[in-house]
Amino acid sequence: PEATPLAGIRLMLTAGPTREPLDPVRFISNHSSGKMGFALARAAVALGAEVTLVSGPVSLATPDGVQRIDVESAAQMHAAVMAGIDRQQIFIACAAVADYRPKLVASQKIKKSSDTMVIELTKNPDIVADVAALPNKPFTVGFAAETRDVEKYARDKLSRKGLDMIAANDVAKAGQGFNADDNALTLFWPEGQIELPLAGKTELARSLITLIADKYHETH
């Protein structure tokens, strides 16, 4: 029988992009497909976890055995996570959450007029940082999508956001990262790190979830 190191463990994940509306028909978003987060959800179910997947808009089927909550904006993702986080023992933030949203959302479609246009943005709440700051925080794992100085920025996010682990990917490399079927990650924690070389997201997710389960059990 398959090993079930996460049996009885409640694990919440975020996945996919967020959409930040400008008006009723337009939004700001990014290229996240949800593939990495959904692969992690499947891998966690396979190890016995009770998985809640908070997903931005993606075109992927819900993995078997996963409770899925669909959201669009960062604010909605934040609210959905906060509403369920009390019950969770592990939280993994794989979503590509927009750091900023348009300050004003027009109630009617914005009309074409002058040759240039300025959109003012305002900061979104940081979901993974808010989870890690909870008094009764779950074991919290973030992602870091970087285009340069991957280790430096990832370690900075690990400590600044108060995370237990962070999985960093170089999203400037072709054939991996956003929307690709493959990825490569470096997993950092305060006292160490490990390379997870280029592989399909399904295989990579299995390795990552196994490492997270090991570290969770070491510390709980």
Which residues are tagged catalytic? 30
Question: At a CB cut-off of 8 Å and minimum separation 6, what does 39 contact?
Answer: 201, 202, 204, 205
Q: Which residue's CB is nearer to ligand PMT, number 202 or number 210?
A: 202
Q: Is 95 in the site for ligand PMT (CB under 6 A)?
A: yes
Least Cβ distance, residue 171 to ligand PMT (angstroms) = 6
- Per-residue contact flags (x/-) with ligand PMT for residues 39 to 58, judged by CB under 6 A: --------------------
Distance CA 38, CA 14 (A): 9
Q: Is 88 in the site for ligand PMT (CB under 6 A)?
A: no
Using CB under 6 A, which of the segments 41-49, 62-70, 122-130, 191-199 binds ligand PMT?
Answer: 122-130
Q: Is 205 in the site for ligand PMT (CB under 6 A)?
A: no
- DSSP states along 44-80: HHHTT-EEEEEE-S---PPPTTEEEEE--SHHHHHHH
Alpha-carbon separation of residue 217 from 34, 42, 50, 163, 188 (angstroms): 27, 20, 16, 16, 17
109 annotated among ligand-binding-site residues: yes
Residue 23 parent element (H or E) = strand 20-23
Q: Which residue's CB is nearer to ligand PMT, number 104 or number 172?
A: 172
Distance CA 31, CA 188 (A): 24
Residue 195 parent element (H or E) = strand 192-200
- Per-residue contact flags (x/-) with ligand PMT for residues 159 to 198, judged by CB under 6 A: ----------x-x-----xxx-------------------
Q: Which residue's CB is nearer to ligand PMT, number 46 or number 81?
A: 81
Question: At a CB cut-off of 8 Å and minimum separation 6, what does 170 contact?
Answer: 146, 147, 150, 176, 177, 184
In the window 137-166, what residues touch ligand PMT (CB under 6 A)?
A: 142-145, 157
Least Cβ distance, residue 24 to ligand PMT (angstroms) = 23
Report the Cα–Cα distance between both ends of the chain, in Å, rounded.
Answer: 25
Which residues of this protein are in contact with ligand PMT, per CB under 6 A?
14, 32-37, 74, 93-97, 99, 124, 126-128, 142-145, 157, 169, 171, 177-179
